[in-house]
Structure 1
Amino acid sequence: MTTQAIAEALQQLSSLAEQAQGASTRNANPAASGFAGELESSLQRIVQLQRTASTQANAFQAGSSEVSLSDVMADSQKASVAFQMGVQVRNRLLTAYKDVMAMQV
């Protein structure tokens, strides 16, 4: 991975974090704020990306002239990357939980 690709990935992550920050500040439920709220909004974003990719693919397969193959592939890759990120976050959380549970008090 090149330095430019890493910089672009970091920029996308920071923009997603800003979007999540805006979504959590608009949330009126105080119980959903904090880490749990951020996690939930991230999961909802992943689901939305997967729905968008599925909708685009179905429209392309149906022969819609409004959807191009490049749009379908881009949305599919966005959904795939978001899902993989979610899996990695889950794995890190499980590892952290196991580490905390293994600590002697």
Structure 2
Amino acid sequence: MDFSIKALDLTKPAAGIAPPGEKASATQGGNFKNAMLKALQATSALQTESGRLSKEFSLDNPTVSLEETMIAGVKSSIAFQTTLQVRNKVVQAYTDIMNMQV
């Protein structure tokens, strides 16, 4: 199991983010819908994996360790909480826009 932390290169913009002075295009970074779809799919995959590992561990599968199961559960929980927070922010933004007077 690899627990190494990869260093971030903060001198380069993240993938899909346009450098200052340049406009982001749909082909360069994608759109919000695609980003949300990928995030939801990743969250679903993490939850599925966590459930599978939990089931395998409870069935005393010798190839599944407690540490691996717990880490998968925490990753799944963090992804789910992040998804909820993004949803809450989107709903709040929508509500704010709908309450604006024109």
What is the TM-score normalised by the length of structure 1? Answer: 0.69
Residue number in structure 2 paired with 1:83: 80
The answer as to 2:77 corresponding to 1:103 is no
Q: Distance in 1 between matches of 2:31 and 2:68?
A: 34
Structure 1 residue 104: deviation in Å? 1.1
Partner of 1:103, secondary structure, is: coil
State, as a whole percentage, how many aligned pairs show the same letter.
Answer: 34
Q: Deviations over 1:26-71 (max 9, x none)?
A: xxxx8xx410111011000000000000000111111111110011
Matches within 5 A, 1:1-105: 33-105=30-102
Residue in 2 that maps onto 1:25: none
Separation in structure 2 between the aligned mates of residue 91 and residue 35 of structure 1, nearest angstrom: 16
Q: Give the 4+ runs in structure 1 shifted more than 4 A.
A: none
CA shift digits 1:60-102 (9 cap, x unpaired): 1111111100110000000001000000000000000000111
Q: Where does structure 2 lack aligned partners over 5 or more consecutive residues?
A: 9-13, 17-26
Could you say which structure has the larger radius of gyration? 2
Task: State TM-score, norm by structure 2.
Answer: 0.71
- 1:24 matched residue in structure 2: none
The one-letter code of the counterpart of 2:80 is F
Higher helix share: 1
